[in-house]
Amino acid sequence: MYVGYAQNGRGEEALRLLVDMIRSRLRPDQYTLVSILVACSGLASLTEGKQTHALVFKHRLDTHVSVANALITMYSKCGSLPEIELVFEHICAPNIVSWNTIIAAFAQHGLYEKALGFFKKIELHGIEPDGVTFLSLLSACGHAGMVKESLYWFDSMKNTYKVAPRREHYACLIDILGRSGQVETAYKMIQEMPFEADLGVWGALLAGCRFSLNIELAELAAREIMRLDPKNSGAYVMLSNIYAAAGLWRKVSRVRRLMKENEVKKQTAFSWMEIDNTVQYFVGGDVSHIAIDEIHTVIVQLYSQMKAMEYIT
């Protein structure tokens, strides 16, 4: 039940089930706690995450590898970085998953030097880095905007560590190149790939075209995405935004007509945050939230303050 709830985005139900379990005087094992930590990660709920960590200590499972890995992920998703290293230090014999988890945690927050420091420690412990390790390291380069370093580690992965790059490695590197305005170099890399590009690779190229406004490559990438997934609303929306940024309003209208003709629906955007131990959900364009009037009042106040400070012209 816990695993089912956690893996299907129903974290709140998993947390309620844990409360019922504790009230019934049943002892949670490592599998239960890992599932609960996954639920806390999905909700970015630090309060419940810390309460679960307390249960981990209570039942002396803090040295258990899978539990510790889940704790590191949870604290990373909740943005609480000081605890990450403390949890890692309690692992008696960290495996490659543990090393990958902590490198990924620092990578997600753009802490390249931290991620690199743990990468260098891997071999000192007699463990060989794998494809996931390098994906996290490339991700750290991407978040920190380090193009040269990303190219170096991509080359080292292939030639020094003999780890064959997969599509996700190419997608990550193409995203980094695209963000730095090197979309032509990124496209050349796609052409030289030893396998056919997938949605992730073309999506990375299309996203990169936003920064250089390369219309030709944007159209090519969008066509490939639509070929692979005709109902992919993201490709239509991103291409429309690129046209708009370039002032090509007729093409913007054409993309919107294509979406309507092909019955492509834009995915609803939503976000959430924890306020007073309650998870509040916010859906784009929705006005049904119980505190919608207060929310609008705060938005108007923020807008006025930003305008007064000349952030908005």
Domain containing 282 equals 272-313
Residues 263 and 276 in one domain: no
Quote the mean pLDDT of the chain. 85
Write the DSSP assignment of 276-290 as a string of letters: TTEEEEEETT----T
> CB–CB of 71/80 below 8 Å?
no
Residues 230 and 313 in one domain: no
pLDDT (average), residues 286-312: 74
* Residue 166 forms part of a structural domain: no
Q: What is the DSSP letter of 196?
A: -
Q: What is the pLDDT of residue 90?
A: 86
* Residue 58 forms part of a structural domain: yes
Domain end among 68, 93, 118 = 93
Q: Check pLDDT > 60 for residue 311.
A: no
Q: How many residues does the chain have?
A: 313
pLDDT in tens, 168-212: 999 999 999 999 999 999 999 999 999 999 999 999 999 999 989
Which percentage of the chain shows pLDDT scores above 70?
85
Q: What is the pLDDT of residue 13?
A: 73
> CB–CB of 207/237 below 8 Å?
no
Residues 194 and 219 in one domain: yes
pLDDT (average), residues 145-158: 94
Alpha helix (H) ranges present in 180-214? 183-191, 199-212
Q: What is the pLDDT of residue 173?
A: 95
- Taking the alpha carbons at both ends of the chain, their separation in whole angstroms is 53
User: What Rg value do the Cα atoms of the chain yield, rounded?
Assistant: 23
* Residue 222 forms part of a structural domain: yes
Q: What is the pLDDT of residue 163?
A: 95
Query: Model confidence at 96, in pLDDT bands (50, 70, 90)?
Result: very high
Domain count, the chain: 3
* Residue 241 forms part of a structural domain: yes
Alpha helix (H) ranges present in 246-285? 249-261
CA distance 39 to 7: 8
Residue 135 CB partners (closer than 8 Å, separation 6+) = 168, 169, 172
Tell me, what CATH number does 215's domain have?
1.25.40
Q: What is the pLDDT of residue 55?
A: 87
pLDDT (average), residues 110-134: 92
Residues 16 and 89 in one domain: yes
* Residue 31 forms part of a structural domain: yes
Residues 261 and 187 in one domain: yes
